[in-house]
Amino acid sequence: MDHDQEQSVRHFDHCPWLFAEESTEEQRLAQQKRQQSIGGDSSIGERCYVAESAAVFPDRLRLGDSSYIAAHAYVTGELTTGADCTLNPFTTVRGSVSLGSGVRIGAHTSLLGFNHSMAPDRPVYQQPLSSRGIKIGDDVWIGSHVVVVDGVTIGDHCVIGAAAVVTKDLPAWTVAAGNPARPLRDRRDSPTPPAAGTDLGRFADTVRAQAADLLARCWDGDRYVDRPGAAPTVRAHCDAVEIADLLLGRAPEQLAADEHAGRLGALQDPQTGLVPEFDEPLSLDEGFPGAGAALYHVLCVGYALDLLSASFPHPVRGVREMTARQLVARLKALPWRDGAWGAGAWIDAWGTGAHWSLRRDPDGGTEPGALEALFGWLLTRADPWTGMWGTPGTPSSESGRLQVVNGYYRLTRGSFAQFGLPVPHPERVVDAVLDHSRDSRYFGAGQENACNVLDVAHPLWLCTRQLGTGGGDGYRTAEIRAWAERQLSAVLPRWRDGHGFGFGPGTGGPGPEPGLQGTEMWLAIIWYLADLLSRSDELGYRPRGIHRPEPARSGLWPLSDSEE
């Protein structure tokens, strides 16, 4: 097989719905042979596609017309599907599984129609298997990274949100999400009348269809640029990985996943564990940067590697070797009075570096007491009137609450949110953030940029979840939902076909022209705004990288691989 044919097969494996219209006669004959080679008792309908890279070893397979098994899926046991069913890339289907017609299974989802016994009389590997099977009705959409366990029946017309774990039966028309999955509403009902221009499902379909072309537009033949004509940057490569994972469930097609990981990992300086910008020297302060691109690269490169199932090849030494006493001294020296955003950004990077260090070495990733010193220092210095850090009290005449609120997002993202710990004074945070959200300098018509909107949306989301009022009646819920609705209505029309989102106006960031940074950030912001309105399931995507809603770790203590 020549290079062009190999590229075409990879393309169809990941986008099998294109095969019927775009394949050659030679490719159709090869697909027939692929289907005939499947072992077991198998019967495959018309216009079906089974990826070359899929591991399909069934005891019994009944694949309905116009159904697909995409790249790297893993299928064993007994699978029966109706017509128009799709098992997207990296799906796992094992045991006894039955799908109705029109079922969509998202990437990296597992349907596990069998189970182990776990009686204490013998080791786990000697336990017998049991199978009650999984039954899924017609017109069902199961998002990415979902797990459905043995014995579950999912009724007709259900929608299951990304990353859910379905352990109990769901009646027809249920929209469910969470771990364990819980019903959110009936699909036929609308919890909030959508505002004009907020058709989230149509928006998500549009951006998903254009994602591959958008990424190709920002590939200069060797490296990624934020937008055509800009210089290549490390962040642009990371943004491309984030966008592809979010919308396509895979790495950007310009390189294989291991090539992406290899390039990003090779950028890390082995002496410091930091990643400088292309052709720029590292500027360090006691082994860890005080500002600059290398500070943010601890976040974006680390999470891009994580999405590629890889990790930093070297430890971040400025984190690994900083003692509790040194850390406290650095915290005291941060520019809290006139640069709270910079202070928060430093803590975001240090906390994320600690996460990667603990991932690499659970027992010695940080100096003893360093993390405890970080959280102890922060908890004892949070302003009880605002719940934030920085100059307390009345907003400044120059910038209002901008520095403090934006610094709060960066600080809590890398510390409390990333480690799954509760923030102090959440009601006061909501008060301060809503007050800031009325500042027309940053939230007037046409004044919003991605940084400022994210730095309001995430704290509101974080605090309402902690207060247990997300999506329901609770502390200032009506005001929060109204703000989220206004922002959502404003941002969706800004999508430019084939180009994405611009970051927005202001002195920071890449500006208003569409590019990878604006697109990556606004897609995550849209998810948070939609989730504040209990509508994020309509998008069919959920951030898994730098803007992930779930904690990357659970607490400060080292975790085993099975717990993390």
Rounded-to-integer distance, Cα 230 and Cα 331, Å: 35
User: What is the 8-class DSSP label of residue 21?
Assistant: H
Q: Which amino acid is at 32?
A: Q
CA angle 364, 369, 371 (to 5 degrees): 85
Rounded-to-integer distance, Cα 163 and Cα 531, Å: 14
Known catalytic residue at 116: yes
Catalytic residue among 3, 116, 425, 499: 116
Q: What is the DSSP string of 495-554?
A: -BTTTB-B--SSSSSS-SSB-HHHHHHHHHHHHHHHHHTT-GGGT-----STT-SS-SSS
Using CA atoms in the order 425, 429, 430, 431, what is the torsion angle rounded to 10 degrees?
Answer: 100
CA angle 388, 391, 395 (to 5 degrees): 90
Q: Which helix (H) or strand (E) holds 35?
A: helix 25-36
Q: How far apart are the first and last CA of the chain?
A: 41
3-state secondary structure 253-314: CCCCHHHHHHHHHHCCCCCCCCCCCCCCCCCCECCECCCCHHHHHHHHHHHHHHHCCCCCCC
Rounded-to-integer distance, Cα 486 and Cα 195, Å: 8
Question: Structure tokens of 193?
Answer: 């009348």
Rounded-to-integer distance, Cα 174 and Cα 15, Å: 28
| Residue 352 burial (C-beta neighbours within 10 Å; 0-12, 13-18, 19+) | buried
Decide: 158 and 176 in contact? Cβ < 8 Å. yes
Q: Which helix (H) or strand (E) holds 181?
A: none
Tokens 């923030």 locate to 423
Rounded-to-integer distance, Cα 387 and Cα 224, Å: 39
Which residue numbers are catalytic? 116
